[in-house]
Structure 1
Amino acid sequence: MTKVSDPAAEGEKADLGSSPSRITDPRIRHEIGRAAVWAFVIGGIALAVYLAKPLLVIFGAMVFASMIDGGARLLGRILPIPRGIRVGIVLLGTVAFFLWLGWFAGSTISQEAAQFPAIIEQQVASLVEWARSQGFEISLDQINNFAGSFSSGIGTVTRALGGIVGGFTTVLLIAIIGIYVALEPQLYERGVAWLLPRAERDNFYVTSKRRGQTLRRLMAGRLVGMLFEAIFTYVMLAVVAPLVIGDAVPMAVLLAILTGLLAFVPNLGAIVSGILMVLVGFSGGVDMGIYTIVTYILVQNFDGYIIIPLIAKKTVDLAPALVLAMQFVMGILFGILGLFLADPLLAMIKVALERRAEQAKGREDSEAGAKTAGGA
């Protein structure tokens, strides 16, 4: 006996498996897909903003690790010893330097450091009086209020970063993570590569190698520039100045140390150190003030046109205006730490973009070669 099928019943059974929320209209599905993409993009941006500060600490550790790695590689050229021992020598040398600097600063320049703010305030007051004599309406109270507002703003940004892990804890985390990475960089490099698709791993290794080379050379140039500026500033202010103007510039050692430390932040650090040097110089008279201006110009030009090009600029080649803009943005967003890491971060972005451009050109050349071979 043949079973007669009911078309209506079959239609009902076919619809039983469909969800009530299923959207059958292709146009509506397309718009919902676009909205989902935007939602994921906005969510990714929000997550990146939320994780930006911890990621910046990790990047700071990578920069610190590159400095240790550069020192260990340099020692490896003259000492055929295991890498771990070379890293330990670099770390011990760094700790010894900072201990010496603290002892030297505490025993030699503590009195100068105590007098330094008073001299700066006195020179600012003299500058205001000179501006008034030239017809400018400038109030010292207004300058103090502006300086207080600026300091408050910088302090607010700095506390925003410090509120997450604390200033000292941030430095400690950067040091600890950097030491671990410097001891076994290949281990962490393989770990990151394992998370990527297999087809992207070769490209990651090439890009990672170039980033490491760029970062090491950038930091080497920065350290050499800091050392040179500190020594040159001290020689010009304490040794050459008595021969030229008859007296040494006050606080020559303190100014030399500040100039060297501030040189870690390119462009902005040089401006700040130059202002401090000139203010202290004019406290000893017009001749001394002019001499400090000449000294500042000599130091910055020799460092900028000879030292940096020989070591770092040919490798990184960052536009000064772009560096200043990056420092401005990073300083506002992340305070002192962002200001320090703006230049290395910009260099890493540049390396990644150059690698992408090379890949695109390689694909274009391969396609052009394939078309030529097919036409032949």
Structure 2
Amino acid sequence: MDQQHQEHTADLPQTQRRLARRVTMVNGIAVLFIAGAAAVVLAANALLLVFACILCAILLYKLSEILARRFHMRRKLALAMVVGALALVIGLGGWAMAPQIAEQSSRLAQEIPAAVERLQTAVQQHPLLKRIASELPPPEQIVKQMGDMVPNAGLFFGGVLGAIGNVVIILFVGIYFATSPQLYTSGLIRLVPQSRRPRAREVQQELGHTLANWLLGKAASMLIVGVVTSIGLSMLGVPLALILGIIAGLLDFIPYLGPIMAGIPAVLLALSISPELALYTVLLFVGIQLVEGYVLQPLIEARAVDLPPALVIVMQLVFGTLFGFAGVALATPLAAALAVLVKMLYIEDVLGDRPAQKPKPG
């Protein structure tokens, strides 16, 4: 009896030490979580800018990797060729179309208020629509709110100068990241315990693979949507087709909400000419989105990650509320990255629900 009592007494310090370690671990996790949440809130714009730089680096790395594999050259040489080709295309395209883009942008800023006024005048003729329109703000306020979205689109600085600064930062930091990605990924992996580093490398590679495929597919989709929209609007006779097509292509980066934002000015301009033209413009945008949704989007998701539409829209609303327009723009790649992390770190590692290994052919 005394021996059992002594053994029980000896086990008490060990049990207390184990409990103390668990309490310390829980408290440490809580402190890290609070510190991380505070960092996200206080440095949200900077973190979004860093994520945009990472996306740019992933896209440049993937393009250079494809070029290097196809023509059997060094990847850094391929990266220099990719950057040079992109700079040449953007420079020549901007030089050739800059006067037309500047003119159409100025005209668009003048035409939208007039189109809103004409729409409100036409609405006044219908009792039900008149009642709805009476609750809407005046055209000047609507145009001001649309204009306020441009500075808010900046990730770090504000206004037009800030938008240009963001682009320069994203491009240069993206190029540095893409030149020596192992330098940065290895440093992050070294923060993980040695026993978990192989798994950390698997997660990092899957993240890069998923985001790279999504970016390649989305870039192709944006180009197609922009070109088809410009051609379609020109054929319909909608004014300012070039700048409207550029806007549609850029906003196509934002699934679901982007096409709606791009279609509003086009429909307003078409409505200022005739209701029939506005109807044809709506049908054009709907047709483009149907083709993208049933043809282009499945191809992107087949090579990247399948994100349910409801999840994407919820993420856009959440990130838009927290971080503004930049959060809406980056919500989809953020959702794709979070989906990979949840799948690999929680479903597979914590729950143990790993996909069955396919049998090797004999």
Q: Please say whether Structure 1 and Structure 2 have the same fold, judged by a TM-score greater than 0.5.
A: yes
| Counterpart code for 2:285 | Y
- Structure 1 distance, partners of 2:314, 2:353, is 33
CA contact (8 A) 1:157 1:333 kept: no
- Structure 1 distance, partners of 2:105, 2:164, is 23
Summarize the alignment of residues 49-68 of structure 1 with structure 2, pairs less than 5 Å apart. Answer: 49-68=41-60
- Structure 2 distance, partners of 1:256, 1:315, is 26
Give CA deviations for 1:117-154 in whole Å, capped at 9, x if unaligned: 23222221122122221112335982346526745875
CA contact (8 A) 2:234 2:241 kept: yes
Q: Say yes or no: does 1:178 pair with 2:191.
A: no
Hey, what does 2:11 align to over in structure 1?
none
Hey, what does 2:142 align to over in structure 1?
147
Segments of structure 1 that go 5 or more residues without pairing to the other structure are 1-24, 242-247, 366-376
Structure 1 length normalisation: TM-score? Answer: 0.77
Q: Say yes or no: does 1:104 pair with 2:108.
A: no
Please state how far the C-alpha of 1:55 moved relative to its aligned partner. 2.5
Hey, what does 1:133 align to over in structure 2?
125
Comparing 144-153 and 182-191, the one that deviates more: 144-153
Hey, what does 1:294 align to over in structure 2?
283
Hey, what does 2:115 align to over in structure 1?
123
Please state how far the C-alpha of 1:300 moved relative to its aligned partner. 0.8
Rg bigger for which structure? 1
- Structure 1 distance, partners of 2:354, 2:339, is 21
Please state how far the C-alpha of 1:37 moved relative to its aligned partner. 6.8
Please state how far the C-alpha of 1:210 moved relative to its aligned partner. 0.7
CA contact (8 A) 1:84 1:183 kept: yes
Q: Say yes or no: does 1:359 pair with 2:349.
A: yes
CA contact (8 A) 2:115 2:271 kept: yes
Distance change (3 Å), C-alpha of 1:221 and 1:37: closer
* Secondary structure in structure 2 of the residue aligned to 1:250: coil
Give CA deviations for 1:152-200 in whole Å, capped at 9, x if unaligned: 875785678427x954444333222211111122222212111211011
| Counterpart code for 2:172 | I
Q: Cα RMSD between the aligned structures?
A: 3.2
- Structure 2 distance, partners of 1:107, 1:157, is 26
Hey, what does 2:254 align to over in structure 1?
265
| Counterpart code for 2:38 | A
Hey, what does 2:77 align to over in structure 1?
85
- Structure 2 distance, partners of 1:37, 1:61, is 29
Q: Say yes or no: does 1:192 pair with 2:181.
A: no
Please state how far the C-alpha of 1:232 moved relative to its aligned partner. 1.5
CA contact (8 A) 1:119 1:280 kept: yes
Hey, what does 1:219 align to over in structure 2?
215
Summarize the alignment of residues 224-373 of structure 1 with structure 2, pairs less than 5 Å apart. Answer: 224-239=220-235, 241=236, 248-312=237-301, 315-356=304-345, 357-362=347-352
Hey, what does 1:76 align to over in structure 2?
68
Aligned residues: 331
- Structure 1 distance, partners of 2:244, 2:152, is 27
Comparing 169-178 and 292-301, the one that deviates more: 169-178
| Counterpart code for 1:129 | T
CA contact (8 A) 1:125 1:140 kept: no
